[in-house]
Amino acid sequence: MTHPLGNPPSKIIALHLNYPSRAKERGRIPAHPSYFLKPPSSLAGTKEALVRPEGCELLGFEGEIALVIGSRAQRVRPEDGWQYVRWVTAANDAGVYDLRYADRGSNLRSKGADGFTPVGPRLLDARRLDPAALRLRTWVNGELVQDDTTDTLLFPFGELIADLSRQVTLEPGDVILTGTPAGASVVAPGDVVEIEVSGNGLSTGRLRNPVAAGPALEPYGAMPKADPAEREAAYGTAYTPAPLLDKRVEEGLRSVAVATLSAQLRARGLLHMSIDGVRPTLPDRTMVGVAHTLRYLPLREDLFKRYGNGMNAQKRAIEELRPGHVLVMDARRDTSAGTLGDILALRAQMRGAVGVVTDGGLRDSAAVTELGLPVYHGGEHPSVLGRRHVPWDTGVPIACGGALVQPGDLIVGDADGVVVVPPELAEELIADCREQELRERFITEQVSAGHSVDGLYPLGPDWREPFEQWRRSQDPSQASQGESA
């Protein structure tokens, strides 16, 4: 494979997040830069094909500015970092998300394949460029999909050189991929990706790479697989996954009171569907969503280090959330430790969660309330979960506030509390709830007019005809529906 760098570099270092627009897409702003390595054998030039192996569906492109180191850099200061850059060019940090699970964090197989780092076509003299005044653009099939500038980078180029050179010697010819802006997405065989970097009247020209279909991988190791989370990560804002909950069902559940739902569930013999002992941060808001579950177990000090630290089940549950999810936590009704705080609540909100329910404690309650995310909790508590709980697993049936909650159950909350709704009953429950609430409106009017509740509440035979007359006066289209009820 030919590329404008000549001799291969000793290393290619790629940055995860650097553009505010991309950080907004990802829902997080890193405090420090983080990196991964790509092998020099992944380098390619313009016009060379990006090959998507058979069985992969998520070949992603990422237009980036590549820095080529000109002189050996060790323990460089941020204000001197740009002096060690000799060339600037366009790059595509391509990869297949279908294999990301196999080397989580290192990205070796997902982004390290031959040809997955095209660069070029021209090298720009870094001495003639202002690192804070570069423009990066990407086109797919002639349509502009990425357009951003380097004046608002989270980590300016000089800082990257300084950060890396604290511990890693940067050799002449080494390549640093400096992050991609919003708009990176997925391409398929037949598509063409073009990337250009420009500044101070200079341009790299367009790095142009067609996408081609390749043979299947030999079955010697991890094989491609894609799930909703990887599709969401790969497509970015260009991908809208199917809604977790039908809009009509969501609106129907939102239109009826939790108390009415509880009564209708009870009428069907479902007596234990309320999540007891929780109260809302936002009692004036109605919460409707699909359950994603998290289970805590009692604290065991010898196991907490293994299960409670790092990317534990609590954090995994947050990162697994999709728009429309309600995160439901089983904390065994132990409210003497927090199970959620403001940072994780914010992250849940950024992931698209519509609410959280925990029968444990809530930390940072004032800050969580200010987020505007409905949270139902057992009580406020200042301590962290390690005082009472070990985060154990996610996506499993749990007990929350005395109710059994399965992943995929519907969760509805208002000022009266929270109920669990079996998805297969949702539509008939909505219809019966509306009928019940209509009758209760009629009964309320009669009680306000001075009538006794005897024979009126619940609606008795003597009041049925007056009710039907009242119904017709409210909405004639409901008359026949009520008569058949």
Known binding residues for substrate: 341-344, 363
Letter for the amino acid at 137?
R
Helices (H) then strands (E): counts for the chain: 13, 29
- Residue 135 pairs in a beta bridge with 149, 198
Residues 6+ apart with CB under 8 A from 72: 169, 170, 171, 172
Q: Long-range contact list for 187-191, CB < 8 A, 24+ apart?
A: 187/50, 187/59, 187/60, 187/61, 187/140, 187/211, 188/52, 188/59, 189/52, 189/213, 191/140, 191/141
Residues 6+ apart with CB under 8 A from 183: 21, 63, 138, 145, 146, 147, 236, 237, 238
Q: In whole angstroms, give the CA distance from residue 83 to residue 70.
A: 8
Helix axes 426-448, 247-254, angle to 10 degrees: 30
Helix axes 426-448, 258-267, angle to 10 degrees: 110
Element spanning 328, H or E: strand 325-330
Annotated binding site for Mg(2+): 364
User: Is-contact 385 367, C-beta < 8 A?
Assistant: no
Annotated binding site: 341-344, 363-364
What letters, b where the CB count within 10 A reaches 16 and e where it falls short, cover 332-350?
bbbbebbbbbbebbbbbbe
Full DSSP string of 34-92:
-EEEE-GGGEE-TTPPEEEEET---EE--EEEEEEE-S-BSS--GGGGGGGEEEEEEEE
Sort strands 410-414 and 287-298 into parallel, antiparallel or unpaired: antiparallel
